[in-house]
A = this chain, B = another copy of it.
Amino acid sequence: MTHKSEKNWSGDPAELLRAGEGFVLSGVDPDETPGYSEGKDAAAEDLAIGVDDLDELQERLFAQSRTDASDASVLLLLQAMDSAGKGGVIRHVVGSVDPQGVMLTAFKKPTPEELEHDFLWRVQKHAPQPGYIGVFDRSQYEDVLIGKVRSLAPAEEIERRYDAINVFEKQLTDAGTRIVKVMLHISYAEQGERLMERLDRPDKHWKYNPGDIDERARWPHYMDAYQTVFERTSTDHAPWFVVPANRKWYSRLAVQQLLLGALREIDPQWPSATFDVAAEKKRLAAT
């Protein structure tokens, strides 16, 4: 079945962007737009069409969870280097969804209380409830990315975490959550330009942090850490998708399609009434 918002795609983004067996991050060109042959203008139109689809699917997912025994939910997990466009994806893709059906969590530097617990402690609490689209802006993967690059934990502990993450994600999927893990992939040069724009514009200064350049200096180490993440945690139950993100219009469109794909696989249905509709109409008419 082809949907209207997919008409300009030559293939399924969930196949084209998946970090499967033998995936090599350095082989991905952040300038490319895999599967999508049109440009920025068509992409804006397709994104708008996708919004309507997303709207109905989300409402069905929510409705289904209210009255049925369905435990289905979606978790969109976003990881990226600074300025790769997580915020824009949240604003333009997640932001198009009814906020009543979204549970968004931004994971910052862990608090002292969080550091006293296992690294998954703070994450588990924010798993989406049935019927919701959960969104993680950063996630448990920070603990094997910055955690590894900056040696914030011993090497054996970092090692342990990949398996712990896989077990955790398996529990989530077994409980009905469909997990979509996305890395927005920009180039080193593109990041340089975006950070410079933040420095050039006074209304963007608040987004800039001198520490951004310290992390930028570790770029190759981060790319290695991401490669390891994909090798260790891109599983059948919770695969990774690497989305080229030098063109913002493409990355937003692609993430929207990945989210739509997850919802279509759930295929949520309007629940049947749990009451006698005719009887209720009579009761209401009498008021």
Q: A199-B277, A280-B199, A283-B213 are in contact. Are A91 and B95 (CB under 8 A)?
A: no
Q: Find out whether the CB atom of A94 lies under 8 angstroms from the CB atom of B99.
A: yes
Kindly identify which residue among B91, B192, B216 contacts A99, using a CB–CB cutoff of 8 Å. Answer: B91
Tell me whether A287 and B217 are in contact in the complex, defined as CB-CB below 8 angstroms, given that A66-B206, A206-B270 are known contacts. Answer: yes
Main secondary structure of the interface of A (DSSP, over half): helix
- Asked if A202 is at the interface (CB within 8 A of a chain B CB), the reply is yes
CA A66 to CA B204, docked complex, whole Å = 12
Tell me whether A10 is interfacial, beta carbon within 8 Å.
Answer: no
* A192 and B195 alpha carbons, distance in the complex (Å): 56
Compute how far the CA of A275 lies from the CA of B205 in the bound complex, rounded to whole angstroms.
Answer: 9
23 A-B contacts, Cβ less than 8 Å apart?
A: A63-B207, A67-B206, A91-B98, A91-B100, A94-B99, A95-B95, A95-B97, A95-B98, A100-B137, A192-B284, A192-B287, A195-B284, A196-B281, A199-B277, A202-B273, A205-B271, A205-B272, A206-B271, A208-B273, A208-B280, A210-B283, A213-B280, A217-B287
